Amino acid sequence: MAAKSTKSAGTETKLVRELAKILNDTGLTEIEMEKGDLRLRVAKGTNAVAVSAPVAAAAPLAGAPIATASAAAPAEPTVSTDEGAVKSPMVGTVYTRPSPDDDAFVSVGDSVKAGDTILLVEAMKTFNPIKAPASGKITKIMVEDGQPVEFGEALLVIG
């Protein structure tokens, strides 16, 4: 059993190093990845990496972010207490319309159906459609077009 934990820790260390290198090479400030039960988040400026999985923590790297581990399931960041808040699934830039010349996907008061595209989040030059998780009415929009967003940040509320 100890050999498996050592192997897991070695794998985590390698992943943390690779993610830290990607941050440095690309100029990104944050990267998050999930693979099975392993969840890694590497962010510049915070000097911390969260490793959430039922495995041992990776050893801290010299000059790199510090790694921590938790056997508990990762908690969803609580950015908004609004019920029906749609949260960003990634770090990126939010766009409220399909192109600069088009109208916004949604406005306060609009009705949406589950699966409708309500926003875009651009990450690493890929535009990811954010779909309405449920049908309802847009009661609040908490972001502006072109605004940077964090993972778990509330974008809008569907009531």
Residues 5-24: pLDDT tens digits?
A: 555 566 677 777 777 777 77
In the block, residue with structure tokens 């990267």: 31
Q: Does residue 143 sit in the same domain as residue 95?
A: yes
- Would you say residue 57 lies in a domain? yes
Residues 129-155: pLDDT tens digits?
A: 999 999 999 999 999 999 999 999 999
* pTM metric for this prediction: 0.51
**Phi/psi at 86 (5° precision):** -95, 120
CA dihedral 141, 143, 149, 152 (to 10 degrees): -20
- Would you say residue 76 lies in a domain? no
Give the structural domain span for 6: 2-70
Name the domain boundary from 70, 100, 117.
Answer: 70
Question: Which pLDDT score is estimated for 116?
Answer: 94
Residues 29-70: pLDDT tens digits?
A: 777 777 777 777 777 664 444 444 444 444 444 444 444 333
Residues 75-101: pLDDT tens digits?
A: 333 334 568 899 999 999 999 999 989
Name the domain boundary from 43, 70, 97.
Answer: 70
Q: Does residue 97 sit in the same domain as residue 52?
A: no
Give me the number of domains the chain comprises.
2
CB 64 within 8 A of CB 89: no
Q: How far apart are CA 78 and CA 66, in angstroms?
A: 23
